[in-house]
Amino acid sequence: MTQTEWVQRVIKPVIFLMCLIPLALLVWDALNNHLGANPIEKVTRRTGDWTLRFLLITLAITPARRLSGWNGLMRLRRMLGLFAFFYACLHFIIYIGIDQSLDMTEIIKDVIKHKYVTVGFASFLLLIPLAATSTNAMMKRLGGRRWQQLHKSVYAIAIGGVIHYLWLVKADLREPLIYAAILAVLLGYRLWVKQRQALPPNAVRSSIHPSAIRPTK
């Protein structure tokens, strides 16, 4: 079995099932009344948490592939990104359908009044075209360059998700700050790679070659 077949037939199905575990646990807790005194808030918070986690996991695929040299990881990125969208949809549906009871007047007021809702709503809207253009057919239709430019908005979406969480939490900021730190590392790594790629090849080699280190006089 080749590496590609191993990823497609074994690893990808296993990861797919693992990605459904948060939903299964949520359904289990709902059926067994384990969601506490405010179940709507609990469900909204947990689906939001997993949206942000899957966004960060998706962003971690490229650095992990570069550092490990295993190109098979890239075959998981689309699926993980779609799971981020899946949990974002659950988060959004619970908010507008259960929390706000589909009252569009109240939803608009909430979006305008609370800045964390504004940022979260905007981030969700930005996520929709990424999910809609995630197929190979859409990639061909848009063209590689345009498709890449569009999907770079995932950085803004992830930043918006972290800000949404930071502004939502009023007391204990530890968890959203952890997400912010992880995102900063992932974006910082990309910036570092981009800067190195912009350097002339000789400059890159000299910066890492032992002969480039000269003793000071």
On whether residue 201 sits in a domain, the answer given is no
* Residue 209 located in a structural domain: no
What is the spatial distance between Cα 44 and Cα 91, in angstroms, rounded to a whole number? 6
Instruction: Note the pLDDT of residue 167.
Output: 95
Q: What is the pLDDT of residue 98?
A: 92
Position 192 scores a pLDDT of 93
Residue 205, domain member (yes or no):
no
Token digits for 47?
Answer: 């689906």
**Helix (H/G/I), strand (E/B), else coil: 173:** coil
Answer whether residue 195 is part of any domain: no
Residues in contact with 126: Cβ distance below 8 Å, sequence separation at least 6, in sequence order: 153, 156, 157, 160
**Rounded distance between C-alpha atoms, residue 101 and residue 201, angstroms:** 59
Domain count along the chain: 1
- Residue environment code for 142-155, b if the CB has 16+ CB neighbours within 10 A, otherwise e: eeeeebeebbeebe
In terms of Cβ atoms closer than 10 Å to its own Cβ (0-12, 13-18, 19+), residue 18 is exposed
Asked, for residue 119, whether it belongs to a domain, the answer is yes
Q: Is residue 210 in some structural domain? A: no
189 Cβ contact partners less than 8 Å away, ≥ 6 residues apart: 63
Three-class SS state of 150:
helix
pLDDT at res. 86:
98
Position 177, amino acid: L
> What is the distance between the alpha carbons of residues 83 and 197, in angstroms, rounded to a whole number?
31
pLDDT for res 203: 56
Residue by residue, pLDDT tens for the chain (217 residues) are: 777 788 888 999 999 999 999 999 999 999 999 998 999 999 999 999 999 999 999 999 999 999 999 888 999 999 999 999 999 999 999 999 999 999 999 999 999 999 999 999 999 999 999 999 999 999 999 998 999 999 999 999 999 999 999 999 878 899 999 999 999 999 999 999 988 887 776 655 554 454 444 444 3
CA-CA-CA-CA torsion sign (158, 76, 133, 50): negative
Chain segment 125-134, per-residue pLDDT in tens: 999 999 999 9
d(CA 79, CA 102): 30
Q: Could you tell me if residue 216 is inside a domain?
A: no
Question: What pTM value is reported for the model?
Answer: 0.89
**Nearest partner of 158 among 78, 88, 66, judged by Cα:** 88
Is 127 among the domain residues?
yes
Q: Containing domain of residue 20, as a range?
A: 3-190
Q: How far apart are CA 41 and CA 74, in angstroms?
A: 35
